[in-house]
Amino acid sequence: MAWNTGGPCPRFFIAKIDGQTFTARDHKQIFVLYRVWKTNNGERLAVDWEESVWKALKSSHPRHFHKDKRKGDPGVSVASAFSFITFIIKRLRNKKLVLAPLAKERAAICFACPMKSKVLGCSVCRSALKLAVKPPEAVEAPQACKACGCYLPLKIWIPRRLLGSSEAYPFHPDCWMRTEDELGCSVNHIGIQQSPRL
Ligand code: SF4
């Protein structure tokens, strides 16, 4: 959901999110402050983190923030995608990636999935995302998953056990995470390999 600003502008913007109060002169700074605070706490940004910030701003300044009710796929923000990359690379450390056939199989399921989405942001930021991830083999994948805010060109390479519960986010019923859970299929059955660089 998009948001607009208008009406009386406060001198300072205040937003209370996750029990924390953020104050700034420009409302855009609140997004930055929240992102930095989450990262410093070692937490991942939720897929709808921006919506939470907008709602908190609206709650503090109801006459200045307005919801734009036009529909459409809001996409996944570059910050969400980077947050996923930072989070998963810490978990990955020296662990190995899945083999290319499994990554390709996962990507094909993502391509057919209505939860696939695009990463929003300028071309420079989107190029930076690509540079941050160098999988061992080029495998085409959709840019993002709007269920979890993950960056799919990286996620498809991650061993299932490092990706958390398939119940944590509203993944599609045909999502490969759910299927792999149901099959109890450890990546060891399919093979894993070391990444040269992630
Ligand atoms: S819900 Fe699952 S299959 Fe669908 S895009 Fe997200 S990760 Fe891919």
Q: What pLDDT is recorded for position 1? A: 57
In this prediction, residue 80 has a pLDDT band, given cuts at 50, 70 and 90, of: confident
- Left if phi > 0, otherwise alpha if psi is -120 to 50, otherwise beta: which for 172? beta
pLDDT at 152: 92
Q: Across residues 55-61, what is the average pLDDT?
A: 94
Task: Report whether 161 contacts 187 (CB < 8 A).
Answer: yes
What span, in angstroms and rounded, lies between the C-alpha atoms of 102 and 75? Answer: 26
pTM of the model: 0.68
Where is pLDDT greater, at 173 or 193?
A: 173
Residue 188, pLDDT score: 41
- 94 vs 106, residue with greater confidence: 106
Which of 73, 139, 145, 146 to mutate to test ligand 1, by most ligand atoms within 8 A of the CB atom? 145
Span from the CA of 176 to the centroid of ligand 1 (angstroms) = 7
Predicted local confidence at residue 72, as pLDDT: 65
Positive/negative CA dihedral, 197, 148, 117, 55: negative
Pocket of ligand 1 (CB under 6 A): 109-110, 113, 115-116, 145, 147, 171-172, 175-177
pLDDT(195) > 50: no
Delimit the domains of the chain by residue range. 2-68, 95-194
pLDDT tens-place string over residues 101-148: 999 999 999 999 999 998 877 677 667 777 777 778 889 999 999 888
Q: Tell the residue number behind the tokens 């459409």, with chain if given.
A: 72
Least Cα distance to 157 among 111, 89, 90 occurs for 89
Q: Whose CA is nearest to atom 1 of ligand 1?
A: 171
User: What's the angle, vertex CA 61, arms to CA 23 and CA 24, rounded to 5?
Assistant: 15
Q: Where does the pLDDT of residue 96 fall: very low under 50, low under 70, confident under 90, or very high at 90 and above? A: confident
Does residue 191 have a pLDDT over 70? Answer: no
Greater confidence (55 vs 198) lies with 55
Question: Which atom in ligand 1 lies closest to the alpha carbon of residue 114?
Answer: 4
The CA 34 to ligand 1 mean position distance, Å, reads 27
Shortest-distance atom of ligand 1 to CA 142:
5
CA angle 181/187/189 to nearest 5° reads 105
